[in-house]
Homo-oligomer: A and B are copies of this chain.
Amino acid sequence: MSGASVQAVVAAGGAEVSRLMDRVEQRMAQLAASHGALLARHAGETITAGGKRLRPLLVCLAAGVPAPEREGLVRAAVAVELIHGATLVHDDVLDGASLRRGRPTVVAAAGRGLATATGDLLFSRAFAELAAGGSVQAVRVLSRASSELATGELMQRADAWRAGVGIERYLERCRLKTAVLFKAACELGALEGGDWVGALGEFGERIGVAFQILDDVLDVSGPPERTGKPRGADLLDGTVTLPLILARGSDQELAALDLRTVRTPELAAGVCERIAATGALTAAKQRALELVREAKLALPELGDRHRAALELVADGVVERYA
């Protein structure tokens, strides 16, 4: 989602959402400063470094437009972003990634030990934040999502280098590793708003899968200067995504490719070119757009402003670098 689309969504959400998002930032900064030098340095940098705050925004919007300006909503939004931050820190440990959002990753700056503990701390703080807000139902939603995120990560590791991964399994992985947190964000917001928990959860899940598909398209299409990582990073990790799955259907050489032989960024870039040449990127993006369309169609009967804001978010997740 581009910075401009985020701004458009915040504008559509009105002054309440804008103020809530300011409070989310303030609370994140408070948390970053509250654990002494150790957290201030590592977790603190992670949680204040930003990103688009898309998940907190979903929490606020799911609560309604105009959104109820409640502390519980701020805490739920912060909790979701902390879980997101924790998974990023741990993913970077696993991938040995050196840059994230243009800054050194925790693992690059501080080593595996501190980075793993930093991720654990962010996880724990997320539940502390939510529990301080007061609803055990909210804790259930977030702990289920965070279990599923870990299961998704396990699934991705188990699937690594396996050529036979099909579309169904790929989509289930998208759901587990990404969409469940979008779903939880919507459910947590809806719990605070008092309505539509189930329907908005489904909305979140659909746009979450679309978000992940687009992420996987961008990994193949680049450009690196926009995505912040070299093309084909997934291929180098052995992660089979939708563009490759689709491209294999029409390119015999790709169908026969052993991913373990794709060992250098140059080789990966070459495979990306081949995938793009089959038209698989357009087809994959089409799939994401369909999910977004379905998500919007299935929205329940909300007020006009509420619906408009959610539709903007849905469009936004597939408009990155369009």
Chain A: residues with CB nearer than 8 A to chain B? 35, 38-39, 42, 86-87, 90, 93-94, 111-114, 116-121, 123-125, 127-128, 130-132, 134-136, 139-140, 142-144, 146-147, 149-151, 153-155, 157-158
Contacts and interface: CB of A to CB of B under 8 A. Distances in A.
A59 B100 CA distance: 41
Contact of A117 (B123, B125, B150): B150
Contacts of A90: 116-117, 120
Contacts of A154: 38-39, 42, 114, 117-118, 121
Nearest to A35: B151
A292 to B, nearest CB: 28
Of A90, A140, A154, most buried by chain B (CB within 10 Å of CB) is A154
A139 B144 CA distance: 14
A124 B153 contact: no
Contacts of A35: 151
A182 to B, nearest CB: 17
Given A127-B139, A132-B140, A38 B151 contact: yes
B118 A143 contact: no
A114 B158 CA distance: 8
27 contacts: A35-B151, A38-B155, A86-B120, A90-B117, A90-B120, A94-B112, A94-B116, A94-B117, A111-B157, A113-B157, A114-B157, A116-B153, A117-B154, A118-B154, A120-B123, A121-B147, A121-B151, A123-B123, A123-B124, A125-B143, A125-B147, A127-B142, A127-B146, A128-B144, A131-B136, A131-B143, A134-B136
Contacts of A146: 120, 123-124, 127
Contacts of A111: 157
A153 B123 contact: no
Contacts of A150: 117-118, 120-121, 123-124
Contacts of A158: 38, 114
Contacts of A86: 120
Contacts of A139: 127, 130-131, 136, 139
Nearest to A125: B147
4 closest A-B pairs by beta carbon, nearest first, are A121-B150, A128-B143, A127-B143, A124-B146
A125 B147 CA distance: 6
Contacts of A93: 112, 116
Contacts of A118: 150, 154
A307 B93 CA distance: 46
Contacts of A121: 147, 150-151, 154
Nearest to A42: B154
A144 B127 CA distance: 9
A140 B79 CA distance: 13
